[in-house]
Structure 1
Amino acid sequence: MIDDPLTEGPEDDSNVVGHAQGMYAFADQQEFALLMTMNFVFSGGSYDGSTLSVMGRNPVMEQVRELAVISGSGEFRFASGYAQAKTITMLDPNGATIVEYNVYVSH
């Protein structure tokens, strides 16, 4: 299960714009890949209460991974598109992994 802060950038003092909530499971016995189902839940601003739902196979060791945006709510109702994930830091001294998501969506 995940419930991590969703921020504008990777810095410790970056503005929190919501949470990434969902779950993942191992999806491959030969490589480090995850099945991910995740909601970006936005708080504050014009997207307050809106969500984007992302799902797909995440081959973690690839530099850039692509996941499907399968739905949304609020301002993102009827959303579709894709998200590109790129690991910025894996297991920093605090045990955190920082992933950058670039999301391209039609709604």
Structure 2
Amino acid sequence: MSNMSPAKHLLVVTMLFLSLSMAVTTSQSSVGRTMSKEDIGLKTEKLTHFHFFLHAIISGPNIDDVNVALPPPTSTTPAADALFGRVDVVDIPMTIGPNISSERIGSFQGVVAGVSPVEELTYFMEVAFIFTEGKYNGSTLVMLGRNQATMKLRELPIVGGTGIFRFARGYALTRTYSPFDTKTGIAIYEYDLYALHY
């Protein structure tokens, strides 16, 4: 290539580049393929409704809602009192009834972040409902969205799932059943999930 003119050299380099680009494009297009639902055993879509309670233990010996980050303090709001920027990790029991001793059906696990001033009590939630009983054992539903706790009834989207709930979509309705009790350290939330899945 040392005896080539600059124009021929550029042409050869361009041809090599185009050949390589075509090879990469060809190999990438073979990565995916169109399938039918039947190819992976998906049958009729159905709607499932769940009703249960969460017991958030925020203080005491058996905490299941742990603060992992606080925002830096400002001149007007000490960090301990600030909600905006607060991040908690949760592993909260899901039970059939509002009493913490009622039958446990799973866990509510994920990350909850404060996205508003304290007076608005708004959180962004990225959590999984992990079922541990009956035919749903080992399956999960994932919820992702904004939860404004000052509203009586809140709606959040169900964006996916695993196990029985592969390809799931739907919504969750939640309400505060019992606000945080400083004596017990517990807040109780009631959930209704509506999930479309196969």
Same fold (TM over 0.5): yes
- 3-state DSSP of counterpart to 2:176: strand
Partner of 2:102: 14
SS in 2 for 1:97: strand
Mapped partners of 2:100, 2:123: distance in 1:
26
Q: Which has the higher contact order (CA 8 A, sep 6+)?
A: 2
C-alpha distance in structure 1 between counterparts of 2:128 and 2:159, whole Å: 10
Q: State the partner residue of 1:103.
A: 193
Letter in 1 for 2:134: G
- Which stretches of structure 1, 4 residues or more, deviate above 4 A after TM superposition? none
Q: Which runs of 5+ in 2 are unaligned?
A: 1-88
AA of the residue aligned to 1:7: T
- Length-normalised TM-score, structure 2: 0.52
**What SS does the corresponding residue of 1:90 show, helix, strand or coil?**
strand
Count of aligned residue pairs for this structure pair: 107
Match of 2:177 in 1: 88
**Structure with greater strand percent:** 1
Gaps of 5+ in 1: none
**Structure 1 residues 3-27: Cα deviation after superposition (integer angstroms, max 9, x where no partner):** 0101112113210000000011111
1:5 aligns with 2:103: no
Q: SS state of the match for residue 99, structure 2?
A: coil
Q: Which residue of 1 aligns with 2:155?
A: 66
Once residues 193 and 167 of structure 2 are traced to their aligned partners in structure 1, the CA distance between those partners, rounded to angstroms, is 15
Task: Indicate the RMSD between aligned Cα atoms, in angstroms.
Answer: 1.1
Structure with the larger helix share = 2
Any idea what SS the aligned residue of 1:28 has?
A: coil
Identity %: 40
- The structure with the largest alpha-carbon Rg is 2
